[in-house]
Amino acid sequence: MTNTAGQPRKRLTMHQRQNLVGWLFLLPATILIIWLSFYPMFRALLISLMKGKPTALTFSDPLFRNYQRMMQDKVFIQSLINTFTYLIIQVPIMLVLAMIFASLLNRHDLKFKGLFRTCIFLPCATALVSYSIIFRTLFAYDGMINAMLMNMHILKEPVNWLNSPNTAKAVIIIALIWRWTGYNMVFYLAAMQSIDYSVYESARIDGASATTQLFRITIPLLKPIILVTAIMSTNGTLQLYDESVNLTQGGPANATITMSHYIYNTTFISNPNFGYAAAMSFVVLILVAILSVIQMKVGDKR
Amino acid sequence: MKKLLALVMALTMIMTMAAALATTDDGKLTIWTWDPTFNIAAMNIAKEMYQKDHPDVEIEIQEVLSEDIETNVTIAASSGDLSTLPDILLVQDNSFQKFATNYPEVYMDITDAYNFDGFGEAKVAYSVLDGRHYGIPFDAGTVVGAYRTDYLEKAGYTIADLKDITWDKLIEIGKVVKEKTGLPMFSGQAGSVDSIMIMMQSCGESLFNEDGSVNLKNNETLKKIIDVYSTMVKEGIYLEVNSWDEYIGTLSNGSVVGTFQGCWILSTIMSLADQKGKWDITNMPAMSNVEGATNYSNNGGSSWAIINGKDTDLALDFMQLYRNVDFYNAILPTTSAIATFAPAKEAPAYTAPNEFFNGTPIFATIVEYTGHVPSNITGAYYYDARNAVSTAITNALNGADIDAELANAEDTVNFAMGF
């Protein structure tokens, strides 16, 4: 009876079938992402509204108490200021340096290009913990940096780098620049190589200087990549953890502690306060989102 | 479609199998502990001794780092499934109460199941919560004053001059030593407050009151201790370094005269073969003008906890070894883990003179000290308070007003407690 229409009614059309197969292919990944990523995020959101012992969490009253408390938490505010200090000083220096290195290495007449590229990229192949420990040793009171500066008669007596707030912050920033400049440089280099050399050639014929070429050709063409690296660096800096833990242990007197380090401390070192820690990590998420939106609005005029 | 179904079924099976593997068998003890030369070695000896009488009991000792044990306990307790935990695990004394308070269902209440006579009172206090016992003491963290006798001699002193002294006297000696040898008396990690906490406990003083409230702002003893500490730092008698490795470095390079530290530091000192015979130990200096001040304190150490719902009877029977003098006698030579069980000091391994320390029978001496250590209150917020005090002291050393800083520290801890 169903065959009266010539084609079976219950069969799907070709388009529908393809659609269904497509969804089936998507299904495993979707389920995994929802299960392993979105569900935990949702749970974290719920936990950030709760208080009490880890095994007996109850909704706090008022509901946003954990978020309200943050404004009175001196250590949290300190960690926020520290993180933004790193962000404001380190990211611009690093991106400018990466741009300079990239344009140097992009020159056609440069010898040993491969060697230089490897050297500059190598730092980001080192593990975060090990490079932090190496920097701690370098900047120790009787470490190499002090010995070097004293032999060169730049310093009269050793500086206790990691034991005063400003120098400790400076050491972290130097370490971050060392670790991440090469990484960003690779992005710029790749983008620069996609710019046709004839563009520069014709610009030179028109009498454009190297600076003009940089500001009028390279940077405008690299804009999307600069945006990507800026967002990635901002994101990474806001989540800074390893350097604070391993290089300075957050000290002296919380002068270098980052938000992620403080969140970890709240959960695992101090008396566990899961609700408050979850709330703080949501603040980090919101900050990342806001900063990314600003950067996209400023940087992308399409 | 069939393949997908097969995949889903395979996945389900793998998960069920994984879940089945996680549950433990009966009649077998699993133990988590972290140091192969120390507590693992001790447990291995315990295992041998126990299996001699109980050959059918299987005991598995797994090396799990202290931080990983803490994370695993946190995860197991938060998920409400203790089956992933072992029967017995080792806990740092300073975080014992934090876990016992927050996860009361994890550690077994052994108040009526275990005999605590003979253990040092201060040691047992770490694992007691509301009058109930949750831990069996393992090693002592009794503080010793260890000094390089060759340096002292150069400055015209002997080890006897440092016995039973006050900090005022120590500073006096320290100045002379600094002048004659150019070396600081002690060293320590800046911001770690280990030294401050040692001095606090030597007075029987804590960062908390009996009722659990914070005791920082009006803590006169703490202020006096910070005063002594900053005097020493300013006079160059106490060298602040930035990391633990640098601290160990000052001892191994011979760039300090001595250290006051938990007795576990002695195994590090004894590993410095070139300094054999140059060291000796005595007790630490005491605070003057503080009521209840002694020359004895504690830093570090750990205790065993038995996990609820596991083979608790077997675990308890096994742990009776920790009341056995022969056991302590057997573990001392290989591990240098010093008992907090007083009868152990009569054991031959304890009374033997130690070549490294000019023939002083250091182990018996330390067990003797253990009995004098005043107990202190750690509580669940111990690390919150420690961090706050550390911040206050660092700021004070950089010129801030100590009263304001301690008031600030008290606010910080109260803030954490008000969650």
Please indicate, yes or no, if residue B34 is contained in any of the structural domains: yes
- Sign of the CA dihedral A201, A205, A210, A211? negative
Which residues of B lie closer than 8 Å to A, measured between beta carbons? 4, 67, 70-71, 74, 77-78, 80, 98, 101-103, 105, 190-191, 240-243, 245-246, 380-381, 383-384, 387, 390-392, 394-395, 398, 408, 411-412, 415-417, 419
| Average pLDDT score over chain A | 85
Ordered by start, the domain boundaries in chain A are 13-59, 69-299
Do B419 and A53 make contact, defined as CB atoms within 8 angstroms? no
Question: What is the DSSP-derived secondary structure letter of residue B157?
Answer: -
Which ipTM score applies to this complex?
0.71
Please indicate, yes or no, if residue B235 is contained in any of the structural domains: yes
Does residue B14 carry a pLDDT above 60? no
- Structural domain total, chain B: 2
pLDDT for A1 equals 44
pLDDT for A7 equals 54
Q: Which domain holds residue B249?
A: 143-297+381-417
- Sign of the CA dihedral B74, B76, B82, B86? negative
Architecture of the structural domain at A69-299: Orthogonal Bundle (1.10)
Does residue B19 carry a pLDDT above 70? no
Q: Which residues of A touch B417 (CB under 8 A)?
A: 271
Q: Are residues B306 and B172 in the same domain?
A: no
Query: Is the Cβ of A276 closer than 8 Å to some Cβ of chain B?
Result: yes
pLDDT for A218 equals 85
Say how far apart CA A84 and CA A82 lie, in whole Å.
5
pLDDT for B217 equals 86
Q: Are residues B164 and B265 in the same domain?
A: yes
pLDDT for A136 equals 87
Distance from CA of A116 to the nearest CA of B (A): 34
Q: Are residues B180 and B287 in the same domain?
A: yes
pLDDT in tens, A202-253: 888 988 888 888 888 888 888 888 888 988 898 888 888 988 888 888 878 8
Element (H, E) at A8: none
pLDDT for A106 equals 83
Say how far apart CA B2 and CA A245 lie, in whole Å.
50
Work out the percent of chain B whose per-residue pLDDT is above 90: 32
CATH of the domain at B248: 3.40.190.10
Confidence of residue B21 (pLDDT cuts 50, 70, 90): very low
Q: Are residues B59 and B75 in the same domain?
A: yes
Say how far apart CA B92 and CA B69 lie, in whole Å.
10
Query: Is the Cβ of A117 closer than 8 Å to some Cβ of chain B?
Result: no
| Average pLDDT score over chain B | 86
Q: Are residues B225 and B163 in the same domain?
A: yes
For chain B, what is the total number of helices (H) and then of strands (E)?
A: 17, 12
pLDDT in tens, A112-161: 888 888 888 888 888 888 888 888 888 887 788 888 888 888 878 778 88
Please indicate, yes or no, if residue B124 is contained in any of the structural domains: yes
Q: Which of B70, B98, B191 sits opposite A271 (nearest CB)?
A: B98
Confidence of residue B419 (pLDDT cuts 50, 70, 90): low
Per-residue CA distances from B272 to A178, B12, B311 (Å): 36, 55, 42
Give the torsion through C-alpha atoms of A199, A202, A203, A208, to 10 deg. Answer: 150
Q: Are residues B51 and B168 in the same domain?
A: no
DSSP string for residues in B253-279? TT-SSEEEEETTHHHHHHT-GGGTTSE
pLDDT for B20 equals 44
pLDDT: which is higher, B17 or B68: B68
pLDDT in tens, A164-183: 888 899 999 999 999 999 99
Q: Which residue of B has its CA nearest to A54?
A: B78
Prediction pTM value: 0.78
